[in-house]
Amino acid sequence: MKPGKSTSTIFNVAVLVASLGYFVDIYDLLLFTIVRVPSLKDLGVPQNEIDSGVGMLLINVQMLGLLAGGIFWGIIGDKKGRLKVLFGSILIYSVANIANGFVTGTNGYLFWRFVAGLGLAGELGAGITLVAEILPKEKRGWGTMIVATVGVSGAVAANLIAKLVPDWRYCYFIGGGLGLLLLFLRISVAESHMFNQTAEKGTAGRGEFLALFNNKERFLRYLKCVLLGTPTWFVVGILVAFSNKFAVEMGVRSPINPGDAVAFCYAGLVLGDFTSGFLSQILKSRRKVMMIFLLLTALCVALYLNLYGAEKWFFYTVCTILGFSVGFWAIFVTIAAESFGTNLRATVAITVPNFARGMLPLITMLFSGLQHYLSYLQSGAVVGIICIVVAIIASYTVEETFGKDLNYVEKL
C-alpha cells in the first residue's frame, strides 16, 4: 500500500498488523490474571493476599498504567501519527513483560506491571484508528471486526501457553518476544492518509486532550463512549478474574482456576466480537448491536451470580457465554473512533478503551467497599447493575456512526 492512499480491501497489511498487535496486547494484558496465583505464590505472597490485597493491587496498578498511557499515546497518535504509537507502545510493553519475568519481589512486580500497562495502552486505539481511516466507510466495520476477533484470542493463547510452559516467568518472556518480533512486520505499514492531510495542512488542535473537556457537547459525546465499555471490564476484571472466590461463595462443586475462567471467557469474547461486528454490518447500525449485547450481558451476569452448587463444567460454560455477551469491544472502540474528527480521533480512540479499563480500580473499590454492608455476591450484583445500566443509557443516547464520513476535523 502506498503512503497516503486508502485501500478498498479489508485483507491488507494494516489490518493484519493491527490484528496481530492486539493479539499480543491481549496476551500480555491478561497474562497476569492467568498467572496471578502461581507467580505470587512463587514470590512468597500469602494466599489471603493473592485473592485480595496484593493481587488486586497489581491489577489496579496495571490499570492505572493503562490510564496514564492512554492519555500519552492518544496525544502522540494525533500529533505524530498512528504508526508512532504502534511502534512505541509495543516496544515499551514488550520490554516490560520481559522484565516481569525477572522480578524477585512484589515491588518490582508492581513497577513493571505499571510500565506494561503504560505500553499496552496505545495498541488497540491506534490500530482501530488506522484501520478505520484507510478502509472505505462501508467496509471499516469488517476491518475492525477482524482486528478485535483475532486480538481477543490472545487471552486463549496466553492460558494455553501458561499450561504448556512449566514456569510462569517464561510466559512473560514469550509475550515480550512476540511483541519484539511484531516490530519487524510493522515496517511495511503506511501511515493513514487522513492523518497525513491534517499534518500537511497544520490543522489546529491535533491531539489537544483538554479539548475533550472544555466543550459540553464534546465532553458528553466523549463520556458516553467511555461508559459503553465499563461492563466488559466489570465482567473480566471482577467476575472472571476472581471467579475462584465467586465459585467458593456459591458452593461450586470443584475448585475454579481463574486462568481457565479467563480462557473460556475470552473464547466467548472471540465469538462475540465476530458476531457483533457481523451484525453491525448486516443491520447497518452500531447502536442497535450495542443495545442487544448489553441486554444479553445483564441476563448473563444474573445467571453467573446464581450458579449455586453448579458443576465445574457448567461454571466454565457460563463464563464462555458471559464472555460472548461482552464481545462488543470492537463496536465500542469503533464508535469512539467514528465519533470524532481526524485531529482528535486517535486521542479519543486510544483514551476511551483505556479509560474504560482504567475505571476498574474504581469498580474494585466500590466492590470492596460494598462488602462491608453486603455479601460478596450481593456486592458483585450491585456493581454489575450500576455498570450495565450506565452503559445502556450511554448506548441509547450515543450518535449512530455507521457509514459516517470520517474525513473531517473537530472545530476547536
Reported as a single tens digit per residue, the pLDDT across 88-105 is 998 999 999 999 999 998
Query: Hey, which of 9-18, 332-341, 351-360, 384-393 has the most confident mean pLDDT?
Result: 384-393
CA 213 to CA 221: how far, in whole Å?
A: 10
| Rounded-to-integer distance, Cα 66 and Cα 330, Å | 18
Which of the pair, 391 or 48, is modelled with greater confidence? 391
How far, in Å, CA of 243 to CA of 248, rounded?
Answer: 9
Question: What is the model's pLDDT at position 186?
Answer: 73
Which range is most confident: 49-63, 175-189, 301-315? Answer: 301-315
The pLDDT of residue 10: 62
Please state the domain extents for the chain.
Answer: 13-185+203-397
User: Which amino acid does the sequence have at 75?
Assistant: I
Separation of CA 362 from chain center:
16
Confidence band of 1 (pLDDT split at 50, 70, 90): very low
Burial string for 20-55 (b: 16+ CB within 10 Å, else e) reads bbbbbbbbbbbbbbbbbbebbeebebeeeebbeebb
Q: How confident is the model at residue 8 (pLDDT cuts 50, 70, 90)?
A: low
Question: Each residue of 338-382: pLDDT tens digit?
Answer: 999 999 999 999 999 888 887 888 898 899 999 999 999 999 999
* Single pTM value for the model: 0.86
Alpha-carbon distance of 51 to 34, in angstroms, equals 13
Q: Is the pLDDT of residue 6 over 60?
A: no
pLDDT bucket at 7, cuts 50 / 70 / 90: low
Is residue 149 within 8 Å of residue 43, measured between CB atoms? no
Please give the angle made by the CA atoms of 48, 52 and 53, to the nearest 5 degrees.
90
SS3 state of residue 122: coil
- The pLDDT, as a whole number, for residue 33 is 77
> Does the pLDDT at position 398 exceed 80?
yes
What's the pLDDT at 4?
45
Between 34 and 307, the higher pLDDT residue = 307
Residues 375-385: b if buried by 16+ CB within 10 A, e if exposed: ebeebbbebbe
Task: Give the pLDDT confidence score for residue 290 in this predicted structure.
Answer: 96
CATH of domain 13-185+203-397: 1.20.1250.20
